[in-house]
A = this chain, B = another copy of it.
């Protein structure tokens, strides 16, 4: 794709446009997109027009645009996210039916925990996780599991800091985090109380690609702080074994 006079490529501009959308901002004008993406108004209008013509954005009656269903379809149907989610969903539903709080699936993406799925009971407690949202690896229970089984370079990069506290009990000391990660590798689970929000506890286990493959995802529940965790952990372990078998039927 062609470079602009400022040197950024067409793909960079496309990514910057897409980055301006999220769950709280699904409809925007071309001018708003341009401002948020740091693009000159004329560039923003032309690019939005091109994206609408390609079906990647859709325009409503008020000339605002949203992400196109065509874009969603293209990004979803062959994705690793869909494959993991499809394998995990039946087992997540069983966890959810029994624990009745929040059940989540996350992967490591660009140094953060990216959440692929979340099931929530209508009366469940607090949980800031969103589908297609992210949390820091060192704070969330899913992130801690992903980090414990990540490449050493990824671990060292996170341990080098800064380790920002999301809540009073986030582990922000590198030596303490290193010990916690070793414990997670040994136990193959974590119970993280008050590390994302003071009012909640995350419990997470790893999901491997096949019986002895690498860890590719984390399965977690978020419980109200102080709730018993043993039952949820049993459900998660059994669900993770089911997902691993679904991902690689012949390795079991």
Complex CA gap A22/B113 in Å reads: 25
Q: Is A82 an interface residue (CB 8 A)?
A: yes
Q: Is A54 an interface residue (CB 8 A)?
A: yes
Bitwise interface map of A from 130 to 171 toward B, beta carbon under 8 Å scored 1, else 0: 111110000000000000000000000000000000000000
A117: nearest chain-B partner, CB-CB? B89
Q: Which residues of A contact B (CB under 8 A)?
A: 1-2, 9-12, 14-15, 18-19, 21-23, 25-26, 47, 50-51, 53-56, 66-67, 69-83, 86, 89-90, 93, 96-97, 107, 109-110, 114, 119-120, 122, 130-134
**Which residues on B sit within 8 Å (CB–CB) of A53?**
11
- Do A77 and B1 have beta carbons less than 8 Å apart? no
**Which residues on B sit within 8 Å (CB–CB) of A93?**
93, 96, 119
Minimum C-beta distance from A182 to chain B (A) = 27
- Do B81 and A72 have beta carbons less than 8 Å apart? yes
**Which residues on B sit within 8 Å (CB–CB) of A81?**
69, 72, 76
**Which residues on B sit within 8 Å (CB–CB) of A10?**
1-2, 10-11
**Which residues on B sit within 8 Å (CB–CB) of A82?**
23, 72, 131-132
Which of these, B26, B70, B83, B90, contacts A110 with CB under 8 Å?
Answer: B70
Minimum C-beta distance from A10 to chain B (A) = 4
- Do B15 and A89 have beta carbons less than 8 Å apart? no
Q: 15 A-B contacts, Cβ less than 8 Å apart?
A: A1-B14, A1-B47, A14-B14, A15-B56, A18-B74, A22-B77, A23-B78, A26-B78, A67-B78, A69-B107, A71-B79, A72-B80, A76-B81, A76-B132, A90-B122
| Given A93-B93, A109-B69, CB of A78 within 8 Å of CB of B15 | no
A90: nearest chain-B partner, CB-CB? B122
The 7 closest A-B pairs by CB, nearest first: A21-B78, A2-B2, A75-B75, A77-B132, A1-B10, A76-B132, A18-B74
Which of these, B70, B71, B114, contacts A73 with CB under 8 Å?
Answer: B114
- Do A77 and B110 have beta carbons less than 8 Å apart? no
A11-B14, A70-B109, A73-B114 known; 13 other A-B pairs, CB under 8 Å?
A1-B10, A10-B10, A10-B11, A11-B53, A11-B54, A14-B14, A14-B54, A15-B54, A21-B78, A22-B77, A69-B114, A89-B119, A93-B119
